[in-house]
A and B are shown apart, each in its own frame.
Chain A
Amino acid sequence: MQDIGEAFHLALSLVLSGDADLFEIVGLSLQVSLSATLIACAIGLPVGALLAVSRFRGRGAVLVLINALMGLPPVVVGLLVYLYLSRSGPLGFLGLLYTPGAMIVAQTILIVPIVAALSRQVLEDLHGEYAEQFRSLCLTRWQSITTLLWDGRYALMTVGLAGFGRAAAEVGAVIIVGGNIDHLTRVMTTAIALETSKGDLPLALALGIVLLVIALGVNAGVQMLRMSAARQASYGAAANV
């Protein structure tokens, strides 16, 4: 238990002393996981929206599959991406292995199912409310999808955060495709794994605390964005009246 108190103290002094290595690692963590989240949203949201408004044979099976893929083990994703990006693999010529790019690819694959499955649920519920109106306005499927995505944007931010949380917290995939190389591909989670294996538990825990604070910061940022947007929307509505 003594370690935990020491860890909080260490976390604080690491941050306050402006430890350059720490900030480099934090920066890379954010760069990789935010990039992966953005790409995953660009792929997963349209897929989720399309599934929400479409009815076709085998839809149930597709939903089960996408929901099941939310549980993809990071280490399996890492291994698959490694096999593809390895110099002896089909995409080896890209030279992406052991770069942040490879880590972004792995995390994107990991969280696309999460974004797709959760946004499908959110938008399907919304579609239930809107379906009547859509029919009366004779909207095309494309128009319905864009309307749903826009009107559901606040709920979809939470979906994006779920994806970001998963990406920022995983270690299994990035340690395989990134290699945990100092000053190149070391991120928060792989640094924590490394310090744990060195037996430096207080430092590992301190890094964990810093990671938690970063996640808190990202979530608070999105929350503020949401609130100010909602306020503006209500002003706008009031002005129109």
Chain B
Amino acid sequence: MTFARLIASTAASLTLAGAVAAQDTSIIVQSTTSTANSGLYDYLLPIYTGESGITVNVVAVGTGQAIKNAENCDGDLLLVHAKPSEEKFVAAGYGTQRTDLMYNDFVIVGPESDPAGVAGMSDVEAALAQIAEAEALFASRGDDSGTHKKEVALWQAAGVDPTTGSGEWYRETGSGMGATLNAGIGMGAYVMTDRATWISFQNKQDYSVGVEGDEAMFNQYGVIPVNPEHCPSVKIEAAQDFADWLVSEAGQAAIAAYEVDGQQLFFPNAAGS
């Protein structure tokens, strides 16, 4: 085979790949990882695509990166969980409108040995203060994700600056929830995670939920179509259709019906917004 033919055939496959993606009715959702890693999309999307004929392609990254990608017009819909950042996103004209979608909560998981003695606590500020006091290992996302932003806010509320112990007892992994759980469990550190990721996580070893039930650990997910005025390339009709379905009775019921190991992972609350 000559080089010219090689180039021609690969160029053909390149343009083909591009054309297929452009032709279908498909949208790109810039999403937080928890909704993808927990299997929620695997459950929801076939139902939605079956009804609408619209294919939904999910790019699962941290909330910070998802928002950044959407600002660059590399997505049609944003589904994340950091309300202040989401409101800023809409206020800056990047998104059309933010709607509450569903919630669950954050928990702090720890090893059986429980070095800071926080197991069973529900006051998250007191628990964090206790972990800092004991200088027990704590693995943080450290990646500007929704979970990380929440964790930073909770440390602030607890009146502790954990970054003074950075590299010592406070370990910022700078990676996703799953990677941080793997690392934290490997080093025997406490980790704050959303409950959905935790329930569906499969490398728990001797870890269990230590701190839970504080109102401050509430975790709200929101959905925002990307603004076509800012991004002319956005497929706003399809994106709006998917967003509308998610907050509709059918979509909300589907979210509520999704379970892992008999436990509901996400609680729909679009009606309240």
Interface residues of A (CB under 8 A from B): 31, 35, 38-39, 41-42, 86-89, 92, 94-101, 104-105, 179-182, 184, 194, 196-201
Contact = CB atoms under 8 A, between A and B. Distances in A.
Interface stretch (B3-11, B121-129, B135-143, B245-253): B3-11
Contacts of A42: 3, 6-7
B72 A95 contact: no
Contacts of A39: 6-7, 10
Interface in B1-29: 3, 6-7, 9-10, 13-15, 17-18, 20-22, 28
B28 A98 contact: yes
Contacts of B22: 95
Best-buried of B3, B9, B21, B176 by chain A (most CB within 10 Å): B21
A104 B182 contact: no
Interface of B: 3, 6-7, 9-10, 13-15, 17-18, 20-22, 28, 33, 37, 41-42, 57-60, 69, 71-74, 176-179, 181-182, 200-204, 231, 233
Contacts of B57: 98, 179, 181-182, 184
Contacts, number: 100
B37 A35 contact: no
A191 to B, nearest CB: 13
Nearest to A46: B3
Given A180-B60, A198-B202, A101 B15 contact: yes
B18 A87 contact: no
Contact of A200 (B9, B33, B60, B203): B203
B202 A199 contact: yes
- Closest 4 CB pairs between A and B? A197-B178, A199-B203, A87-B73, A179-B59
Given A181-B58, A200-B203, A86 B73 contact: yes
Contacts of B202: 198-201
A197 B37 contact: yes
Nearest to A184: B57
Contacts of B41: 182
Q: Is the interface of B mostly helix, strand, loop or mixed?
A: helix
A72 to B, nearest CB: 21
Contacts of B3: 42
B10 A88 contact: no
Given A105-B14, A182-B58, 8 more contacts: A42-B6, A98-B59, A99-B17, A100-B13, A101-B18, A180-B60, A182-B41, A199-B182
A198 B6 contact: no
A89 B73 CA distance: 10
A108 B17 CA distance: 16
5 contacts: A35-B14, A92-B73, A100-B13, A197-B177, A200-B203
Contact of A99 (B18, B69, B203): B18
B73 A35 contact: no
A38 B6 contact: yes
Contacts of A101: 14-15, 17-18
Contacts of A182: 41-42, 57-58
A227 to B, nearest CB: 19
Given A42-B6, A198-B178, A87 B74 contact: yes
A151 B182 CA distance: 51
B72 A86 contact: yes
A96 B57 CA distance: 14
A196 B178 contact: yes
A179 B204 CA distance: 27
B37 A198 contact: yes
Contacts of A105: 14
A199 B18 contact: no
